[in-house]
């Protein structure tokens, strides 16, 4: 009994000691010290800036203490949204910061080189000629808000009468253009243009920009007591009942489920997995990158009751360096799918050695995912 109590006390002691204080002691010369700074990362759903993760300010320094959430965390600093995230001197996005927890308290001193809202630096667009703005203010009646929608058309779209399969992507800011991305772009357009030339594979892509401070709630099918409300059902219904009909009307699309895919990463992976199970007659192909299954434990029971799908293909990919919960949760999900009738031939799981929770991983893995879902 004494031994068990001793172990418990040691564990609690380590939890209390395992915390880190981030101190921002160097900021851009043009930083406005009346602005708040936030830390955002995998430990809070990559929200871009939640009030409970706002740094305290002491003169020219900002600081915050973060308890141990996992063995490591990935994070960045923002001025309250991903449109104002830290970046390099030329306003290009930087890689996620990483911190590995030890067994003691720690302090990390941070230098912020630049903020992406610096109007003196104009980021050069990297999008291809066949990426277009579909709508600046597309209405989302289920949520009483609007959203910017981007579209990629195959290189030969204007010179043919063909109909094309369609992919719906979350976090649209990060898909085509480094000048709009908050964490680096996936280079979807370059990849698909190359596949069109080398393999004759062509695809329409609809990229839905995330809702900034609404990102977490829109990608959440269930409420999380720590992080807030769930608007995932309404968001998915918007794609199915409003956006897809508009896209099918405006462009020559293959409208059937076996020609329609949905894909996303992190929280976007969670909502894409959910959408594929909820609407299998709409989405016949689903790409789930580094899914945040940790956010809503209800997703596992929901999957058990919705996994008996004979004609849907599901592709999962993640890195083996994404924290303690990511790989076990994804393995658990794949096993649930198999045990509840999902055909193994329609299910694929890839674990990338040394892969991290980052745009660079998802950019690298996109081509293989698309190949398995559409071309194989």
Give the DSSP H or E segment for 231: none
The fraction of the chain above a pLDDT of 70, given in percent, is: 93
Give yes or no on whether 17-115 and 131-375 have one common fold: no
Asked if 169 and 206 touch (Cβ cutoff 8 Å), the reply is: yes
The average pLDDT across 154-183 equals 91
The average pLDDT across 324-333 equals 94
- Between 321 and 252, the higher pLDDT residue: 252
Which of the following CATH numbers is that of domain 17-115: 3.30.930.10, 1.20.120.1200, 3.40.1230.10, 2.60.40.10?
A: 2.60.40.10
Cα–Cα distances in Å, from 361 out to 50, 103, 267, 331, 354?
A: 25, 29, 15, 19, 10
| Longest alpha-carbon distance in the chain | 79
pLDDT digits (tens, 9 = 90+) for 169-195: 999 999 998 877 767 789 999 999 999
Buried b (16+ CB within 10 A) or exposed e, 235-254: bbbbbbeebbeebeeebebb
pLDDT at 81: 86
Task: With cut-offs at 50, 70 and 90, classify the pLDDT of residue 197.
Answer: very high
pLDDT at 1: 52
- What is the model's pTM? 0.84
Kindly give the pairing relationship between strand 260-265 and strand 285-289.
Answer: parallel
- Between 81 and 347, the higher pLDDT residue: 347
The answer on pLDDT for 57 being more than 80 is: yes
Nearest alpha-carbon partner for 21 in 132, 135, 107, 149: 107
pLDDT at 343: 96
Report d(CA 78, CA 196) in Å as an integer: 37
CATH architecture group of domain 131-375: 3-Layer(aba) Sandwich (3.40)
The average pLDDT across 326-342 equals 96
pLDDT at 176: 92
The answer on pLDDT for 3 being more than 70 is: no
The answer on pLDDT for 243 being more than 50 is: yes
The fraction of the chain above a pLDDT of 90, given in percent, is: 70
pLDDT at 91: 78
Q: What interhelical angle do 267-278 and 298-306 show, nearest 10? A: 30
Average pLDDT, the chain: 90
Put residue 29 in one of left, alpha, beta given phi > 0 → left and psi -120 to 50 → alpha: alpha
The average pLDDT across 243-254 equals 98
The answer on pLDDT for 304 being more than 90 is: yes
Task: With cut-offs at 50, 70 and 90, classify the pLDDT of residue 7.
Answer: very low
How far does CA 306 lie from the centroid of its chain?
23
Least confident span in 179-193, 248-262, 263-277, 338-352: 179-193
DSSP string over 22-52 = EEEEE--TT--TTS--EEEETTTTS-S--GG
pLDDT at 120: 56
The answer on pLDDT for 147 being more than 60 is: yes
pLDDT at 8: 41
Asked if 94 and 74 touch (Cβ cutoff 8 Å), the reply is: no
Looking at the chain, how many residues does it have?
Answer: 376
Q: Where are the domains of the chain?
A: 17-115, 131-375
pLDDT digits (tens, 9 = 90+) for 202-219: 999 999 999 888 888 999
Give the DSSP H or E segment for 77: strand 72-78
pLDDT at 9: 45
Nearest alpha-carbon partner for 370 in 191, 190, 151, 248: 191
Least confident span in 27-31, 147-151, 238-242, 269-273: 27-31
pLDDT at 102: 84
């Amino acid at each position: 009994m004494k031994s068990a109590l001793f172990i418990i006390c040691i564990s609690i002691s380590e939890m209390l000691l395992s915390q880190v204080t981030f101190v921002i002691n160097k900021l851009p010369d043009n930083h406005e010290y009346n602005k708040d700074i936030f830390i955002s990362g995998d430990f809070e759903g990559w929200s871009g800036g939640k009030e409970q993760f706002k740094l305290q300010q002491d003169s020219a320094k900002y600081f915050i203490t973060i308890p141990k959430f996992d063995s490591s965390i990935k994070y960045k600093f923002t001025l309250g949204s991903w449109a104002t995230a830290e970046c390099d001197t030329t306003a290009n996005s930087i890689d996620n910061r990483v911190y590995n927890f030890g067994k003691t308290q720690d302090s990390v001193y941070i230098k912020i080189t630049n903020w992406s809202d610096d109007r003196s630096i104009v980021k050069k667009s990297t999008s291809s000629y066949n990426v277009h703005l579909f709508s600046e203010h597309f209405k989302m009646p289920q949520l009483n808000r609007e959203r910017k929608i981007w579209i990629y058309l195959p290189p030969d779209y204007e010179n043919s009468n063909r109909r094309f399969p369609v992919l719906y992507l979350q976090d649209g800011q990060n898909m085509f253009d480094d000048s709009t991305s908050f964490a680096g772009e996936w280079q979807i357009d370059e990849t698909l243009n190359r596949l069109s030339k080398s393999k004759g594979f062509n695809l329409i892509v609809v990229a839905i920009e995330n809702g900034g401070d609404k990102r977490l709630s829109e990608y959440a099918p269930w409420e999380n007591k720590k992080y807030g409300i769930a608007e995932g059902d309404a968001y998915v219904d918007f794609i199915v009942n409003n956006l897809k009909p508009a896209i099918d009307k405006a462009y020559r699309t293959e409208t059937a489920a076996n020609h329609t895919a949905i894909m996303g990463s992190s929280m976007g992976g969670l909502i894409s997995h959910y959408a594929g199970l909820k609407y299998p007659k709409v989405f016949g192909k689903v790409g789930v990158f580094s899914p945040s299954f940790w956010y809503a434990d209800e997703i596992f029971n929901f999957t058990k009751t919705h996994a008996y799908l004979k004609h849907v293909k599901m592709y999962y990919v993640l890195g083996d360096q994404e924290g303690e919960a990511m790989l076990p949760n994804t393995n658990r999900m794949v096993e649930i799918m198999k045990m509840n009738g999902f055909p193994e031939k329609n299910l694929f799981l890839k674990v990338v050695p040394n892969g991290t929770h980052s745009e660079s991983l998802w950019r690298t893995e996109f081509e293989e995912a698309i190949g398995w879902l559409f071309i194989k």
